[in-house]
Amino acid sequence: MTDKEAMGSPKRLARKTGILYFLVILTGVASEAIARNFIIVPGDIATTVYRITAYEWMFRLAFVISLTRFAVLVLMVLALYRLLGPVNKDWSLVMVALALLSIPIGMVSLLFQYAAPLLFSSGGYSTLFTTEQWHAQVLFFIDMQTLGDKASQILAIWLLPLGFLIHRSGFLPRILGVLMGIAGLGYVTDFLIFFLLPNLNWQVAGIAFLAELPFPLWLLIKGVDVEQWRSRAREVA
């Protein structure tokens, strides 16, 4: 979309952004449901190994869905930049940089998950390890993928400049900016608890996720205040 087209149809831009945001959410939930909630059984590596081998196509499907999520995430962040750039270019660039930086970290950690079934599908590996050693290595790869995901969560601070931009925009409700800020702080808190207080066994990512949902919903249903958006866009033109 060119700048002229965006100026002419900010509601369309908002709704496209909302669609991309929901695609990121849906692909994330789908891959999590398949890999983490169905295939992987926490504390039971034998059952996990069985399910990886019995449902390998589903395990690989979760991998492809996760990769798709990262591709859509790139488009979503760029769309957010087009939508909120008129509010403050500098903070919009900070938002984009932090969000895009999380993608390669997430993709590298995803490779550890994909490596798990390779231990069983490659004949060369099967002659090198005992069953117990296979199980231990599968557990290692799964744990490394979890660690990579949690490590990338620190970059959820990109939701803070996003919340700031929404709050200052004038063409979106201020409360949405507050909620996005809460979501960003929630993900970062989850990261800190995981690495600094592992025995606490608290997770606040679910609360952060719920705080994040109203924003794409608003973009899809209501869009933006067109006149306010155009006024902002003219100021930076």
pLDDT digit string, tens, across residues 35-85: 888 888 888 888 888 888 888 889 889 999 999 999 999 999 999 999 999
- Alpha carbon distance 108, 106 (integer Å): 6
Question: Would you state the structure tokens that stand for residue 181, as one six-digit string?
Answer: 């800020």
pLDDT digit string, tens, across residues 178-188: 999 999 999 99
Domain residue limits at 231? 3-236
Q: Please say if the pLDDT value at position 126 is more than 70.
A: no
- Alpha carbon distance 120, 170 (integer Å): 56
pLDDT digit string, tens, across residues 3-23: 444 444 899 999 999 999 999
Amino acid type, 8: G
Q: Of 90, 88, 138, 86, give the one whose Cα is nearest residue 117.
A: 138
- Alpha carbon distance 75, 128 (integer Å): 43
Q: To the nearest whole percent, how much of the chain has pLDDT over 70?
A: 92
- Residue 4 is predicted with a pLDDT of 47
- Residue 124 is predicted with a pLDDT of 58
Report the domain count for the chain: 1
- Quick check: helix, strand or coil at residue 40? coil
